[in-house]
Amino acid sequence: MISFSNKNRNLFRDRLVNEKFDLLIIGGGVTGAGILLDAQTRGLKAALIEMQDFAQGTSSRSTKLIHGGLRYLKQFEFALVAEVGKERAIVHKNAPHLTIAEKMLLPLTEKGSIGKLGARFGLWLYDFLAGVKKGERRIMLSAEEVLKREPLLDKTKTIGGALYYEYRTDDARLTFEIIKEAVLRDGLALNYLKAEEMLFNGERKIVGVKAKDLITGDICFINADYVINATGPWVDETDALDQSSKKSKIIHTKGVHIVIDHKKLPLGQSVYFDVPDGRMVFAIPREGKTYIGTTDTFYTGDIVDPEISLEDREYLINATNQIFPNSDLKLSDIESGWAGLRPLVREEGKSPSAISRKDEVFEYESGLITIAGGKLTGYRKMAEKVIDIIRKRIKVKIGQDIGYCQTAAIQLAGGKFSESLEKVLANYVKDGERVGLSAKETEKVFYRFGSNTEKVLKYAQEEALEGISLYWSIQLQYCLEEEMIAGAEDFFVRRTGALYFDIDEVRKYKEAVVNHMSNYFQWPENVRSSNLKSIDNLLFNFQGGK
Ligand SMILES: Cc1cc2nc3c(=O)[nH]c(=O)nc-3n(C[C@H](O)[C@H](O)[C@H](O)COP(=O)(O)OP(=O)(O)OC[C@H]3O[C@@H](n4cnc5c(N)ncnc54)[C@H](O)[C@@H]3O)c2cc1C
């Protein structure tokens, strides 16, 4: 099998152009990834194209939680809570190293949006509907217990609280591991390839896509029986290529997260807290940092790179200082952050937070299928809906049944464990020590690459790359050989999350990493320097809370 490396890009592209596919998916976020895997596991021959890096759209810019759906209770979306709760358990089973149970403290305050009774009833209902397992069910707390757990909270306003569980994930890696699993099953996925036109037959049915390779500038024609638009915030733009639907399906709201050093807000656990405008915000400790978010405002600006405005930063800093009055956070404490766009299915007249997060599938005369809205957590069910439509169409067309969705039982790439995570990790830590990695470093590698840690550690048998620590060196080599990185940003942002959770290391190794990538890919000088510049720009954005 050809390794999933950008150095094999031409081979993958040749396949895309020369073969005919049952299904072509436009969009390499979690929605498209899920559809690719579902299709592939039902025996279809599927391909996916992504115009940026995989997950570079919304799927690397979320709150990074596999939700049980607590917030949907406020909107009385009981069926959604039940579905999301079940899905959470499945996602956890299929990629346990990427979905870690995270205790969440819900402090209740005077004049807060939830009262004691409401919280008690709401969390009971949530446990029931979402099928929360024993040991992870709600625990109601007195004010004293809440303050003992989280002394930074306002003693004068806290009236009680509760503990419940969310599952923390790495959204970009989850998306990528779904894609990798599909590729292992002979699915084809390529990043930096943009769908620019739909191809039609004489009856105006879609028979493929004309796409542009954004690395080489080449134009490719890809043939497929069915085409899926899974382009998230770009759903309307992609639909416009089909021309059978002119109506806008989605509305964008922007959600910003900021990252600060954990020492600046030394929380004992994650906290989900009230904000004076009636919304709720998460503060989640992770890898020595704490990230806080999110905002939720209507958005009409640039979709590719939504900015984190001063207003966004002030909103999150003020909200945090309000609930943790002794924290005294300043704008200059912000080290990094991200802004994402929710592609919400249009519901006129509702405020951003009141618009449902449900998904919807649209079918057009041309044969195009578009899926909009939804959540990271529900990616598998969204994929099932789309492939079930294809199943029906294939049945009508050729009388063949491709069968039911299989993905609930499929361990994702990196999630292939036959023993408990603790046991597997303990063995890797020993392996890591033998090659010179600290236990902490091996642990971080493990929670990133899961059962592929073995492959990552193999690179430690060679000498570390020049100017790069062993820890980063082995990850870079693995990502170059097996994770389709095409630029330094792919590595530092979406494969490792280093820009958010290890920003000092990015500063330290950016030049050596870019130089190594440049040698590896034989980049001309202008590509090398633009890679370095793009990392510098990302770092600069957060200097001094700018
Ligand atoms: C702030 C925020 C917080 C969130 N938090 C959570 C959370 O904690 N838990 C949760 O479950 N959900 C959460 N969500 C929702 C979740 O992140 C999204 O529903 C999900 O990531 C959307 O995935 P997608 O694949 O539909 O879109 P995207 O991830 O945006 O993928 C679409 C892709 O299509 C590509 N594309 C566009 N046009 C083309 C073209 N012409 N050719 C090729 N490719 C193209 C884009 O580059 C993009 O990568 C959050 C969302 C936001 C914004």
> How many A from CA of 234 to the centre of ligand 1?
9
Q: If you average pLDDT over residues 427-443, what whole number do you get?
A: 97
Judge whether residue 543 has pLDDT over 70.
no
- The pLDDT > 90 percentage for the chain reads 82
Distances in whole angstroms, Cα of residue 313 to Cα of each of 337, 349, 393: 9, 26, 48
pLDDT at 473 > cutoff 50: yes
The pick from 281, 303, 362, 376 for probing ligand 1's pocket by mutation, whose C-beta has the most ligand atoms within 8 angstroms, reads 376
Indicate the top mutation candidate among 234, 238, 357 to test ligand 1's pocket, ranked by most ligand atoms within 8 A of CB: 234
309-366 tens-digit pLDDT: 999 999 999 999 999 998 999 999 999 999 999 998 887 777 777 777 788 999 999 9
Q: Whose CA is nearest to atom 9 of ligand 1?
A: 65
- Could you say which DSSP state residue 132 is in? P
Q: How far is the CA of 517 from the centre of ligand 1 (A)?
A: 27
pLDDT tens profile 280-312: 999 999 999 999 999 999 999 999 999 999 999
CA of 59 to the centre of ligand 1 (A): 4
C-alpha 430 – ligand 1 centre gap (Å): 38
* From 178, 359, 375, 385, mutation site for ligand 1 pocket: most ligand atoms within 8 A of C-beta: 375
374-407 pLDDT, tens digit each: 899 999 999 999 999 999 999 999 999 999 999 9
Question: Which atom of ligand 1 lies at the shortest distance from residue 372's CA?
Answer: 26
pLDDT, mean of residues 86-98: 95
What is the mean predicted confidence (pLDDT) over 193-198? 98
Handedness of CA 257, 542, 289, 275 (dihedral sign): negative
Provide CB contacts within 8 A for 540, sequence distance 6+. 546
Q: What secondary structure does DSSP assign to 345-369, as a single string?
A: EP-TT--GGGS---EEEEE-TTS-E
Choose the weakest-confidence range: 32-41, 66-75, 156-165, 263-272. Answer: 66-75
In ligand 1, the atom with minimum distance to the C-alpha of 241 is 41
263 alpha carbon – ligand 1 mean position (Å): 31
Confidence check: pLDDT of 545 > 70: no
Which amino acid residue places its CA nearest to atom 18 of ligand 1?
375
**Distance between Cα 169 and ligand 1 center (Å):** 15
Q: What is the pLDDT of residues 112-129, one digit of tens each?
A: 888 888 888 888 888 888
- Gap from CA of 398 to ligand 1 centroid (Å): 34
Among 48-52, 274-278, 455-459, the minimum mean pLDDT is found in: 274-278
Atom of ligand 1 nearest to the CA of 196: 41
Determine the distance separating the centroid of ligand 1 and the alpha carbon of 231, expressed in angstroms. Answer: 8
Ligand 1 site: residues with CB under 6 angstroms? Answer: 26-32, 49-52, 56-59, 61-65, 67, 194-195, 230-234, 238, 255, 294, 340-343, 374-377
- Give the distance (Å) from ligand 1 centre to CA of residue 266: 31
Give residue-wise pLDDT tens across range 239-256.
999 987 678 888 999 999
The pLDDT of residue 546 is 44
Q: Which of 24, 98, 231 to mutate to test the pocket of ligand 1 (most atoms within 8 A of CB)?
A: 231
Residue 486 main-chain phi, psi, to 5 deg: -120, -10
Distance of CA 427 to the CA centre of its chain: 28
Residue 544 banded pLDDT, cuts 50, 70, 90: very low
Beta partners for 173?
none
Q: How confident is the model at residue 132 (pLDDT cuts 50, 70, 90)?
A: confident
Kindly report the protein residue whose alpha carbon is nearest to atom 49 of ligand 1.
Answer: 57
Contact between 413 and 189 under an 8 Å Cβ cutoff? The reply is no
For the segment 413-427, the average pLDDT, to the nearest whole number, is: 97
Which atom of ligand 1 is nearest to 56's Cα? 49
- 83-92, 227-236, 362-371: which range is least confident on average? 83-92
Whether the pTM exceeds 0.75: the reply is yes
CB 24 within 8 A of CB 500: no
3-state secondary structure of 272: strand
Q: What is the mean pLDDT of residues 44-61?
A: 98
**pLDDT mean across residues, the chain:** 94
pLDDT of residue 129: 86
Ligand 1 center–CA 233 separation, angstroms: 7
**The predicted structure's pLDDT at residue 267:** 96
Does residue 298 come out as left (phi exceeding 0), alpha (psi in the -120 to 50 range) or beta? Answer: beta
